C-alpha cells in the first residue's frame, strides 16, 4: 500500500499513514517557525530567560562538578567583561578552541553575551588547518584550552599579533608561555561579571551569526559555516516539541562541541527545555551505561559509529535497565539500528535524521523506520527534491525543457533544497560560509524554472514506494567500477551484517593502473579476540554483493581512522590505496582462482590484471 507503511514496533504491527507522518513534521516546524519575542532576540536572551526562571536548576555536569544556570551565567559574564576589556564589540569574531568542558560554554556564551561571534575551532586542528581557521574568520582574539597548546605552538599564530589567552585545564599547571600567549586566569579573577550584557548586543539581529562551525569537507581546507541565532534557537524548539522534552530531562553530550551535532542540536534543545547537560570530554563505551545510570540520562545525541561501538562492547551492568528514552542523530545504518534496539530496548525513540551544518533543509525519521533518514509523505509540502545525478559526468541530467529530472522509486540521486523561487521569493534561506565564493559553489540555479535557486547537498539518496529516504553515499565516495556505480554505504551494511566479527568496516574506491574507474577496497578492524578470515570474507563478499561491488582489496587495520566527530576517514585511505610502500597494515587481494583473499603480492596483482 502506498498510503500506509506496516512496520514492527515493540512486537506489534503498526501502521503509519502519510497523514500521521506529516502531522509530526508539522509539529516540529511549527515550533521552529514560532515567532521570536523580538527581532534582536539572541541565544543569550533565551539562555538568560531560563536563568531567571530556574537559576538554581542544574545546567551542566562535568565529572564531579555541577554548575547551575546561574553559576554558568556568572562565569560567562566574566568572559564577557574580559572580552570588552580586549576591545571586542558586537559583530567582531573571536576564535574558541577548547575541548568538552565547562570553559567551552563559558567562553562561547561570554562572547555571545556582547554580540561577538565565536569561531569554533576543531580541537584536533593542526598546522595549516589551525592557521586557516583563525585567518579565514578574521578572528581578533583566540581563547584556547591548555589541552590544545601543543598544536598551537606548531603554527605561526603565536607572535602574529593575534591576542591569545590560554585557559588552564583544571588544576594542571600551565607550562611557561612564549611571547604572545597569556594565562587567562589572572585577567578573569580581576574582572567584575558583566551585569548589563544585553545592552552590548542590541545591534545584533536574530539572523546574524551566533557562531561559525567548520565543515569537515572532503576536499581542501574546512569552510566556516554561519549558524544564526534564529536557526540555533529554532532547532532547539523543534526538538523540544517533537520529542516532548521537559526541564527534568538530562542530555548526554559526548560529541565534540565545536561540531554542529553536539552544540547546534543537543545543546540548543537543552536550552529550549531548560534541561541538564552532562558533558564528557571524550566518548567512552565502557562508561556509557554507567553514566546513563549515574546521571539518569534521558536524551543522547549520536553519530552512527558511536552506536556501532556500543553494540560491539560486552554486556555492561545496567544496560538493560536504563532511563534513556530519546536518541537524536544520524548515520545509524539498518544493521546497527536492528542490533541496537534488540539489545538495548525498542522503547528508545530513535530520531535518525539528515542535514548539514550549513544546509537550508533537513529531514527526520519520526516513525522509527529502521535505516531511514526521513520521509516526505507529501512532496508538495516539502522544499527538498531528489534529482538524478550522473557520477561519471558529475552532472545532473535534464529533460528536453532543460529541467532537472526527479528520481523514480529506487533510483539514486542527489538531494537539493530550494533557496528561492524564480521571482526571488525566499523559500528557505541558505546562510552560507564566510567565503562568498565557497558559498556560491553550493548553489545551483534554473533547476525547475528559470531563476530558481537551490542548495546542493552533495549527498546521494534513494526513496522507497512509501517515500522513506535512505542515505546511499556522499558524492565522491560512490565510485564506478566495470561500468557500474558502487555505493560504499550499501557495501558496508551488507558486509557488516553478514560478518558481525568485524568491528569497523570502511569501504572506498581506489585508482587501479591500467583500468578505468576505481576498484573497491575495504579497511577492516576486527573485534577483540577475532582474526580476519580471508576465506570467509571472500565467501560473504561474493555471496552478498554484485560482482562489480566485491572489494578487490582488503586492508586489515588495528584501529579505525576516525574524525573527531566519529566519522570514518576516507581521504587518506584512498590516497594510500594498495601501495605496499605506503601501507604498513596487512593487505589482501581478491583471488577467484583460490576462492579467497590472498596476501597482496606481485602474483596476486597479476591475477587481477594489474601491472606492478
| Beta-strand pair 12-17/4-9 | antiparallel
| Beta-strand pair 479-481/484-486 | antiparallel
- pLDDT at position 220 is 62
Among 238, 255, 282, give the residue marking a domain's end.
282
Among 473, 504, 522, give the residue marking a domain's end.
473
Please give the angle made by the CA atoms of 115, 119 and 124, to the nearest 5 degrees.
155
Percent of the chain with pLDDT over 70: 96
Q: Provide the grid cell at 593.
A: 582462482
How far apart CA 285 and CA 282 sit, in angstroms, is 10
286 or 43, higher pLDDT: 43
Lowest-confidence segment of 103-112, 145-154, 211-220, 504-513 by average pLDDT: 211-220
Percent of the chain with pLDDT over 90: 72
The CATH number linked to 535 is 3.30.300.30
Residues 381 and 431 in one domain: yes
Q: Provide the grid cell at 474.
A: 556522499
Evaluate if residue 128 carries a pLDDT over 70: yes
60 within a domain of the structure (yes/no): yes
Helix (H/G/I), strand (E/B), else coil: 237: helix
Per the CB < 8 A criterion, the answer to whether 121 and 95 are in contact is: yes
Cβ neighbours around 405 below 10 Å, total: 14
Q: Provide the grid cell at 510.
A: 581506489
Evaluate if residue 574 carries a pLDDT over 90: no
Evaluate if residue 290 carries a pLDDT over 60: yes
Evaluate if residue 9 carries a pLDDT over 60: no
The CATH number linked to 433 is 2.30.38.10
Residues 485 and 411 in one domain: no
Cβ neighbours around 473 below 10 Å, total: 23
Residues 554 and 524 in one domain: yes
Q: Provide the grid cell at 77.
A: 559574564
Residues 426 and 572 in one domain: no
How far apart CA 497 and CA 371 sit, in angstroms, is 13
CA torsion through residues 376, 377, 379, 381, sign? negative
The whole-model pTM stands at: 0.84
Cβ neighbours around 341 below 10 Å, total: 18
Helix (H/G/I), strand (E/B), else coil: 464: coil
Helix (H/G/I), strand (E/B), else coil: 473: strand
Q: What are phi and psi of 482, to 5 degrees?
A: 55, 40
Kindly indicate the confidence band of residue 3, based on its pLDDT and cuts at 50, 70 and 90. Answer: very low
Considering just the CA atoms, what is the radius of gyration of the chain in Å?
A: 25
Q: What is the pLDDT of residues 59-108, one digit of tens each?
A: 999 998 999 999 999 999 999 999 999 999 999 999 999 999 999 999 99
Among 473, 498, 522, give the residue marking a domain's end.
473
Residues 158 and 74 in one domain: yes
Evaluate if residue 609 carries a pLDDT over 50: yes
Name residues whose C-beta falls within 8 Å of residue 133's C-beta, 6 or more positions apart in sequence: 95, 119, 121, 122, 125, 214, 222, 224
572 within a domain of the structure (yes/no): yes
Find the distance separating the first CA and the last CA of the chain, reported in whole Å: 55
Kindly indicate the confidence band of residue 216, based on its pLDDT and cuts at 50, 70 and 90. Answer: low
- pLDDT at position 34 is 94
- pLDDT at position 23 is 97
Nearest by Cα to 309 from 279, 260, 344, 354 = 344
Q: Once rounded to an integer, what is the mean pLDDT over residues 584-595?
A: 96
Residues 257 and 162 in one domain: yes
Evaluate if residue 470 carries a pLDDT over 80: yes
Q: What is the pLDDT of residues 518-564, one digit of tens each?
A: 899 999 999 989 999 999 999 999 998 989 899 999 999 988 776 66
Kindly indicate the confidence band of residue 350, based on its pLDDT and cuts at 50, 70 and 90. Answer: very high
Q: Once rounded to an integer, what is the mean pLDDT over residues 39-61?
A: 98
Residues 421 and 516 in one domain: no
Q: What is the pLDDT of residues 291-334, one digit of tens each?
A: 999 999 999 999 877 898 899 888 888 888 899 999 999 988 88
Per the CB < 8 A criterion, the answer to whether 449 and 460 are in contact is: no
How far apart CA 403 and CA 172 sit, in angstroms, is 61
Kindly indicate the confidence band of residue 209, based on its pLDDT and cuts at 50, 70 and 90. Answer: very high
Length of the chain, please? Answer: 612
- pLDDT at position 566 is 63
4 or 319, higher pLDDT: 319
540 within a domain of the structure (yes/no): yes
Q: Encode 219-234: b = buried (16+ Cβ within 10 Å), e = exposed.
A: eeebbbbbbbbbbbbb
Cα distances (angstroms) measured from residue 206 to each of 44, 112, 242: 11, 12, 23
Kindly indicate the confidence band of residue 565, based on its pLDDT and cuts at 50, 70 and 90. Answer: low
Evaluate if residue 426 carries a pLDDT over 60: yes
The CATH number linked to 212 is 3.40.50.980
Q: 264 is in which domain, residue-wise?
A: 34-282
330 within a domain of the structure (yes/no): no
- pLDDT at position 158 is 86
Cross-sheet strand order for the sheet of 209-214: 181-183, 163-167, 141-145, 93-97, 117-120, 209-214, 224-228
166 within a domain of the structure (yes/no): yes
Q: Once rounded to an integer, what is the mean pLDDT over residues 124-147?
A: 92
Evaluate if residue 433 carries a pLDDT over 70: yes
Residues 176 and 245 in one domain: yes
354 within a domain of the structure (yes/no): no
Q: Once rounded to an integer, what is the mean pLDDT over residues 395-420?
A: 96
Residues 243 and 146 in one domain: yes
Per the CB < 8 A criterion, the answer to whether 594 and 608 are in contact is: no
Mean pLDDT of the chain: 91
Evaluate if residue 349 carries a pLDDT over 80: yes
How far apart CA 453 and CA 445 sit, in angstroms, is 4
Residues 516 and 455 in one domain: no
Name residues whose C-beta falls within 8 Å of residue 575's C-beta, 6 or more positions apart in sequence: none
295 within a domain of the structure (yes/no): no
Residues 589 and 481 in one domain: yes
Residues 585 and 461 in one domain: no
Q: Once rounded to an integer, what is the mean pLDDT over residues 216-224?
A: 68
How far apart CA 82 and CA 110 sit, in angstroms, is 9
How far apart CA 14 and CA 20 sit, in angstroms, is 12
Evaluate if residue 2 carries a pLDDT over 80: no
Per the CB < 8 A criterion, the answer to whether 372 and 389 are in contact is: no
Kindly indicate the confidence band of residue 419, based on its pLDDT and cuts at 50, 70 and 90. Answer: very high
Nearest by Cα to 301 from 318, 323, 334, 278 = 278
- pLDDT at position 195 is 93
Nearest by Cα to 464 from 414, 397, 410 = 410
248 within a domain of the structure (yes/no): yes
Q: How many domains does the chain have?
A: 3
Helix (H/G/I), strand (E/B), else coil: 444: strand
Amino acid at each position: 500500500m502506498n498510503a500506509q507503511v506496516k512496520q514492527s514496533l515493540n512486537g506489534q504491527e503498526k501502521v503509519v499513514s502519510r497523514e500521521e507522518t506529516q502531522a509530526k513534521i508539522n509539529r516540529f516546524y511549527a515550533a521552529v517557525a514560532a515567532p521570536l519575542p523580538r527581532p534582536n532576540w539572541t541565544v543569550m536572551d533565551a539562555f538568560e530567560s531560563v536563568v531567571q526562571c530556574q537559576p538554581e536548576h542544574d545546567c551542566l555536569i562535568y565529572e564531579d562538578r555541577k554548575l547551575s544556570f546561574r553559576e554558568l551565567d556568572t562565569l560567562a559574564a566574566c568572559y564577557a567583561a574580559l572580552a570588552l576589556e580586549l576591545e571586542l564589540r558586537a559583530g567582531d569574531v573571536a576564535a574558541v578552541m577548547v575541548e568538552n568542558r565547562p570553559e567551552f560554554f563559558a567562553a562561547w556564551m561570554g562572547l555571545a553575551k556582547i554580540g561577538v561571534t565565536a569561531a569554533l575551532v576543531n580541537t584536533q586542528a593542526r598546522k595549516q588547518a589551525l592557521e586557516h581557521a583563525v585567518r579565514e574568520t578574521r578572528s581578533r582574539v583566540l581563547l584556547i584550552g591548555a589541552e590544545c597548546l601543543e598544536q598551537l605552538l606548531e603554527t605561526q599564530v603565536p607572535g602574529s599579533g593575534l591576542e591569545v589567552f590560554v585557559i588552564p585545564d583544571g588544576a594542571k599547571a600551565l607550562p611557561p608561555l612564549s611571547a604572545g600567549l597569556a594565562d587567562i586566569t589572572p585577567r578573569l579573577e580581576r574582572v567584575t561579571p558583566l551585569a548589563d550584557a544585553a545592552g552590548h548586543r542590541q545591534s545584533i539581529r536574530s539572523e546574524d551569526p551566533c557562531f561559525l562551525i567548520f565543515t569537515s569537507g572532503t576536499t581542501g581546507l574546512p569552510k566556516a559555516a554561519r549558524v544564526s541565532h534564529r536557526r540555533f534557537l529554532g532547532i532547539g524548539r523543534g526538538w523540544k516539541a517533537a520529542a516532548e522534552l521537559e526541564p527534568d530531562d538530562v542530555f548526554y553530550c559526548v560529541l565534540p562541541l565545536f561540531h554542529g551535532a553536539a552544540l547546534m542540536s543537543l545543546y540548543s534543545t537543552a536550552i529550549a527545555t531548560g534541561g541538564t547537560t552532562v558533558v564528557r570530554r571524550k566518548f567512552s563505551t565502557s562508561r556509557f551505561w554507567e553514566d546513563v545510570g549515574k546521571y539518569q540520562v534521558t536524551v543522547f545525541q549520536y553519530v552512527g559509529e558511536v552506536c556501532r561501538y556500543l553494540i560491539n562492547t560486552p554486556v555492561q551492568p545496567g544496560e538493560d535497565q536504563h532511563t534513556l528514552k530519546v536518541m537524536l542523530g544520524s548515520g545509524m545504518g539498518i544493521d546497527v539500528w536492528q542490533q541496537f534496539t534488540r539489545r538495548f530496548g525498542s522503547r528508545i525513540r530513535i530520531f535518525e535524521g539528515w542535514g548539514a551544518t550549513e544546509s537550508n533543509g533537513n529531514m527526520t525519521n519520526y516513525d522509527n523506520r529502521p535505516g531511514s533518514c526521513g520521509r516526505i509523505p507529501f512532496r508538495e509540502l516539502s522544499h527538498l527534491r531528489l534529482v538524478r545525478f550522473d557520477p561519471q559526468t558529475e552532472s545532473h541530467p535534464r529533460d528536453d525543457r532543460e529541467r532537472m529530472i526527479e528520481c523514480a522509486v529506487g533510483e539514486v540521486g542527489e538531494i537539493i533544497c530550494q533557496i528561492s523561487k524564480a521571482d526571488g521569493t525566499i523559500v528557505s534561506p541558505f546562510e552560507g560560509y564566510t567565503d562568498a565564493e565557497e558559498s556560491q559553489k553550493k548553489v545551483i540555479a534554473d533547476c525547475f524554472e528559470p531563476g530558481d535557486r537551490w542548495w546542493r547537498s552533495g549527498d546521494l539518496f534513494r526513496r522507497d514506494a512509501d517515500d522513506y529516504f535512505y542515505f546511499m553515499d556522499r558524492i565522491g565516495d560512490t565510485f564506478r567500477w566495470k561500468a557500474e556505480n558502487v555505493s560504499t554505504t550499501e557495501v558496508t551494511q551488507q558486509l557488516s551484517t553478514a560478518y558481525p566479527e568485524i568491528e569497523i568496516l570502511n569501504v572506498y574506491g581506489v585508482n587501479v593502473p591500467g583500468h578505468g574507474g576505481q576498484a573497491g577496497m575495504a579497511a577492516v578492524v576486527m573485534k577483540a579476540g577475532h582474526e580476519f578470515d580471508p576465506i570467509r570474507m571472500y565467501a560473504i563478499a561474493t555471496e552478498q554483493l554484485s560482482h562489480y561491488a566485491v572489494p578487490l582489496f582488503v586492508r586489515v587495520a588495528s584501529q579505525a581512522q576516525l574524525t573527531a566527530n566519529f566519522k570514518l576517514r576516507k581521504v587518506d585511505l584512498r590516497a594510500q590505496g594498495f601501495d605496499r610502500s605506503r601501507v604498513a597494515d596487512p593487505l589482501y587481494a581478491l583471488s577467484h582462482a583460490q576462492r579467497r583473499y590472498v596476501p597482496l603480492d606481485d602474483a596476486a596483482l597479476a591475477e587481477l590484471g594489474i601491472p606492478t
